[in-house]
Structure 1
Amino acid sequence: MTHTYTVTGMTCNNCKAKVESALQNLYYVDEVHVDLEAQEARIMMSQHIATKTLQDALSEKYQISEKKERNVFASTSQQMEEKSNLKQLFPLFLIFGYIIITAFLLNNNPMDWSNFMLDFMGLFYIVFSFFKLLDLKGFPESFRMYDPLAKVVPAYGWVYPFIEVVLGLMFLMRFQITLALIITLVILGITTFGVTKTLLDKKVIQCACLGTALKLPMTKATFIENSIMIVMAIIMLFKIYSA
């Protein structure tokens, strides 16, 4: 019999090899095929093995769950899964909230929406780059799983956090704003394209927006956060060229 499982936490081929090896060593397992991009494992077994047994064979870094066909009785488990995703995304929402509040407090007396957006984008880049730099070694592998340019040019994943640092400083110091806005549209446009494709393909992968230190799932929240930055960049460019 063959069962398909979702395995989260894999960020590179080394992770894939570890998962395959750990599962292959289990009794009753005949063959294991792991798809890194799809974050899936197809296990051929001579006798059914409980998911808990599979999980116990893996390190805490990886989480395995059986993929099942949707049915009318699955609404409860689906709701639990959605709650779990919201819980996992809590750090992202919290950081986003802090950035919004800080940018608002810096520009609310009197309220200056243009400077609010510039400070928001600057803080966004600085904070998000900080989390990426916490695990600079692991970030590129995770990032290239959905960013089209990082897939073609692996070195791009290594320099991307530093690009965010530079852009953040440019926005906060009001240095070469037009150039920073154009670069923002380009790099986030590329990433958002990859995120959109991943969501449409319904792939379960780790989001690298906050690096690999915080294990966040790729969800619509990732698309929304990138879209907000893109919209702000377009608005600011429009204001600059229409002034």
Structure 2
Amino acid sequence: MKHTYTITGMTCNGCKASVEKALKGIPEVKNASVDLEASEATVEMSERISINILQKALSDKYTITEKNIFNVRHTSKAEEIPIAIGSELRQLFPLFLIFGYITIASVLLNRNPWDINSFMLDFMGLFYVVFSFFKLLDIKGFPVSFRMYDPLAKVVPVYAWIYPFIEVELGLLFLLRFEIEIALIVTLVILGITTIGVTRVLLDKKTIQCACLGTALKLPMTKATFIENSIMIVMAIIMLVNLN
């Protein structure tokens, strides 16, 4: 029987070779082949292997999730969809949790009296500070993942290295209410560029790791990433309009 899996965290041919070797090392695995561009692994096995066993065989750098099953027992779409959705939601839970905390903190900071403009400034400030923190946890790994989809980072590699520090500075500018207009314009530029890259990945239906929370937390590139950037862009536009 053959199973196809999605693997996030692979960035080069070395990663591909490492994943193939790890999977082939499992006794029940007859053969394993990895497609780096598609972030997929096709595993031929003598008997069904749980996803936990496959994950344990891999380095912590990689996350493996089941994509499809090709064997004599046909699985209906009704059976496959809940598994895929459940897996995706579990992977994105840290992102939703962080967004929730940032939103609650921003509301509490501006609840009495309520000020929507201050709420948006605090939200954007906390967003940048918190997200930059996770990127800086693996400052060496983040640029590699970021260059996989950000158009500017692909052309100017140094941009991927300084991006987390740009986020720190923007976060502080919003929280300190200093040079807000400049911070808003920079936000529109950098998130606009990133959103173009994210949109391309989603339209091409590629499965790669999202670097929004760095590489410490392994998140797949999904519509949630697009929505996250869009929220920040909309807030920046509203704030610029209000300032003028």
In structure 2, do the counterparts of structure 1 residues 183 and 76 end up closer, same or farther at CA, with 3 Å as the change threshold? same
Question: What does residue 49 of structure 2 align with?
Answer: 52
1:143 to 122, 142, 146: 146
Question: What does residue 199 of structure 2 align with?
Answer: 196
In structure 2, do the counterparts of structure 1 residues 240 and 151 end up closer, same or farther at CA, with 3 Å as the change threshold? same
User: What residue identity is the alignment partner of 2:154?
Assistant: K
The answer to whether 1:104 aligns with 2:101 is no
Point out the more displaced range, 159-168 or 197-206.
197-206
Question: What does residue 14 of structure 1 align with?
Answer: 14
CA shift digits 1:115-174 (9 cap, x unpaired): 111111000000000000001111111111111111122211111000000000111111
Question: What does residue 81 of structure 2 align with?
Answer: 78
Q: How does 1:175-214 map to 2 (within 5 A)?
A: 175-214=178-217
When the two structures are aligned, how many residues end up with a matched partner? Answer: 235
1:133 to 132, 136, 144: 136
Whole-angstrom CA distance in 1 between matches of 2:15 and 2:198: 22
Deviation at 1:84, TM superposition (A): 1.6
Answer yes or no: is the 8 Å Cα contact 1:149–1:190 preserved in 2: yes
Normalising by structure 1, we get a TM-score of 0.85
Answer yes or no: is the 8 Å Cα contact 1:9–1:63 preserved in 2: no
Whole-angstrom CA distance in 2 between matches of 1:41 and 1:144: 22
Query: What SS is found at the alignment partner of 2:10?
Result: coil
Question: What does residue 176 of structure 2 align with?
Answer: 173
User: What residue identity is the alignment partner of 2:15?
Assistant: C
Question: What does residue 118 of structure 2 align with?
Answer: 115
Normalising by structure 2, we get a TM-score of 0.85
Deviation at 1:194, TM superposition (A): 0.9
Structure 1 residue ranges without an equivalent (≥5) = none
Aligned residues with identical type, % of pairs: 66
Answer yes or no: is the 8 Å Cα contact 2:63–2:218 preserved in 1: no
Deviation at 1:49, TM superposition (A): 4.9
In structure 2, do the counterparts of structure 1 residues 88 and 23 end up closer, same or farther at CA, with 3 Å as the change threshold? closer
In structure 2, do the counterparts of structure 1 residues 89 and 16 end up closer, same or farther at CA, with 3 Å as the change threshold? same
Deviation at 1:62, TM superposition (A): 4.1
Answer yes or no: is the 8 Å Cα contact 1:51–1:65 preserved in 2: no
Question: What does residue 63 of structure 1 align with?
Answer: 64
In structure 2, do the counterparts of structure 1 residues 95 and 186 end up closer, same or farther at CA, with 3 Å as the change threshold? same
Point out the more displaced range, 184-193 or 2-11.
2-11
User: What residue identity is the alignment partner of 1:52?
Assistant: I
Query: What SS is found at the alignment partner of 1:189?
Result: helix
Question: What does residue 160 of structure 2 align with?
Answer: 157
CA shift digits 1:18-70 (9 cap, x unpaired): 124445678854x84x4333212467x7xx6556399375445342646458x
Answer yes or no: is the 8 Å Cα contact 2:6–2:41 preserved in 1: yes
In structure 2, do the counterparts of structure 1 residues 133 and 235 end up closer, same or farther at CA, with 3 Å as the change threshold? same
In structure 2, do the counterparts of structure 1 residues 168 and 57 end up closer, same or farther at CA, with 3 Å as the change threshold? closer
Whole-angstrom CA distance in 1 between matches of 2:116 and 2:10: 41
CA RMSD between the two structures: 2.6
User: What residue identity is the alignment partner of 1:207?
Assistant: C
Whole-angstrom CA distance in 2 between matches of 1:50 and 1:145: 35
Structure 2 residue ranges without an equivalent (≥5) = none
Whole-angstrom CA distance in 1 between matches of 2:79 and 2:25: 34
The answer to whether 1:218 aligns with 2:215 is no
